[in-house]
């Protein structure tokens, strides 16, 4: 029987998830389809119940529903519960809908695909303290990153993340302007630089990045944000948001279908599309 999957969000038209998952189904010879569905905030509960009734095999959740969906699901994975955000839902054998979060692990896979595991002891700074930053912070800690600092425009949210992690530091935007050069790994986890995110810019200067910096961004459209462009210009290593996007989808795919799909060609393909856009 044909399986069906979806991604829900608002807006949703720009999502690259349908093309990515449908390509994987085709490659793996699966009789399955993945569709984008726009769901308004006030319709979220009804949408989740309808999906359940209509026998969805699984779905992804994107902005703005990652947190608000939690009360409408039957079960939540422990890590997703800690993160306070769900991006993947799996229909279990008994019909229950269970929420997971694959964003953080997707980010770490993408980062380590590029830089390996030898930087886990190096000082690392996460910029931002929203849902994405929180998921990334958990996944990094779980993977053995030892020296995590978080900075955010609203400092209390950075403190919440560090409290939840049980280790790490918080620094203000003013402090970042002075100490940026001390961090080997910088992770940009806000919408700054995003094509459709309005004119968001970081509340500190990025001039002080060190030459050997490893700079990673969660934004993938455009591929090269001002943050990444600066890192590249001074000779740093750059990790675009495409790898995180593909790996979060691949981990979701594995939850649904039991094996990890091919990611390398997918990262190349989406990177090429964005380069040409
Ligand atoms: P998500 O859950 O997708 O990460 P979010 O919860 O809205 O999205 O978080 C967005 C992040 O970008 C937050 O760290 C936010 O800072 P605040 O916590 O101070 O709101 C940050 N952000 C958004 N707009 C910003 C701006 N103009 N300048 C600096 N930081 C910004």
192-247 pLDDT per residue, tens: 888 665 566 788 888 899 999 999 999 998 999 999 999 999 999 999 999 999 99
pTM over 0.85: yes
Q: How far is it, in rounded angstroms, from Cα 124 to Cα 176? A: 12
* 16: its two tokens: 């690259």
Please state the domain extents for the chain: 3-102+243-276, 104-241
From 16, 66, 98, 184, the catalytic residue: 66
Q: Is 231 in the pocket of ligand 1 (CB under 6 A)?
A: no
Q: Is 130 in the pocket of ligand 1 (CB under 6 A)?
A: yes
Of 159, 114, 164, 155, nearest to 135 by C-alpha is 164
Residues 168-173 have a mean pLDDT of: 97
Q: Is 191 in the pocket of ligand 1 (CB under 6 A)?
A: yes
Classify residue 277 by burial, with Cβ atoms within 10 Å: 0-12, 13-18, 19+: exposed
Residues 6+ apart with CB under 8 A from 19: none
Tens digits of per-residue pLDDT, 48-85? 999 999 999 999 999 899 999 999 999 999 999 988 99
Q: How far is it, in rounded angstroms, from Cα 254 to Cα 265? A: 17
> Cα–chain-centroid distance for residue 155?
21
Same fold, 3-102+243-276 and 104-241: yes
CB atoms within 10 A of CB 122: 15
Q: How far is it, in rounded angstroms, from Cα 193 to Cα 45? A: 32
Q: Quick one: pLDDT at residue 63?
A: 87
Sheet strands side by side (includes 97-100): 32-38, 3-9, 58-61, 88-91, 97-100, 75-76
Q: What is the distance in A from the centroid of ligand 1 to the CA of 133? A: 9
Q: Quick one: pLDDT at residue 192?
A: 85
Which one of 153, 196, 219, 226 would you pick to mutate in the ligand 1 pocket, going by the greatest count of ligand atoms within 8 A of its CB?
A: 153
Q: Is residue 178 among the annotated active site residues? A: no
Spell out the alpha helix ranges (H) of the chain: 17-27, 44-53, 78-83, 103-115, 131-142, 155-165, 173-179, 226-233, 242-257, 264-276
Give the DSSP letter of residue 130.
Answer: S
Ligand 1 atom closest to the Cα of residue 197 is 24
9 three-state secondary structure: strand
CATH for the 3-102+243-276 domain, from 2.60.120.860, 3.40.50.280, 3.20.20.70, 3.40.50.10860: 3.40.50.10860
Q: How far is it, in rounded angstroms, from Cα 12 to Cα 92? A: 25
Which DSSP helix (H) or strand (E) runs through 129? none
Q: What is the distance in A from the centroid of ligand 1 to the CA of 155? A: 11
Domain over 104-241 is classified CATH 3.40.1130.10: no
Q: What is the distance in A from the centroid of ligand 1 to the CA of 259? A: 34
Ligand 1 atom closest to the Cα of residue 131 is 2
Which DSSP helix (H) or strand (E) runs through 149? strand 148-151
Which DSSP helix (H) or strand (E) runs through 94? none
Q: What is the distance in A from the centroid of ligand 1 to the CA of 65? A: 15
């Amino acid at each position: 029987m044909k399986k069906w999957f979806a991604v829900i969000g608002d807006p949703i038209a720009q999502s690259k998830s349908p093309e990515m998952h449908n390509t994987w189904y085709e490659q793996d010879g699966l009789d399955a389809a993945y569709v984008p569905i726009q769901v308004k905030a006030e319709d979220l509960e009804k949408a989740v119940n309808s999906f359940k009734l209509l026998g969805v095999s699984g779905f992804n959740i994107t902005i703005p529903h990652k947190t608000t969906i939690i009360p409408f699901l039957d079960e939540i994975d422990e890590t997703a519960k800690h993160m306070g955000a769900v991006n993947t839902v799996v229909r279990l054998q008994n019909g229950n809908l269970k929420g997971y979060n694959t964003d953080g692990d997707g980010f770490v896979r993408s980062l380590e695909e590029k830089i390996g595991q030898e930087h886990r002891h190096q000082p690392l700074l996460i910029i931002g303290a929203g849902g994405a930053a929180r998921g990334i912070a958990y996944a990094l800690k779980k993977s053995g990153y030892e020296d995590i600092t978080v900075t955010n425009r609203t400092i209390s949210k950075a403190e919440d993340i560090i409290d939840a992690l049980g280790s790490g530091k918080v620094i203000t935007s003013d402090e970042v302007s002075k100490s940026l050069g001390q961090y080997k790994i910088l992770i940009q986890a806000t919408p700054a630089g995003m094509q459709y995110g309005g004119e968001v810019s970081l509340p500190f200067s990025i001039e002080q990045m060190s030459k050997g910096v490893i700079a990673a961004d969660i934004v993938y459209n455009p591929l090269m944000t001002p943050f990444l462009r600066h890192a590249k210009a001074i000779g740093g290593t750059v990790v675009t948001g495409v790898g995180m996007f593909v790996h979060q989808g691949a981990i979701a795919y594995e939850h649904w279908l039991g094996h990890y799909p091919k990611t390398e060609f997918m990262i190349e393909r989406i990177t090429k599309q964005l380069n040409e856009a």
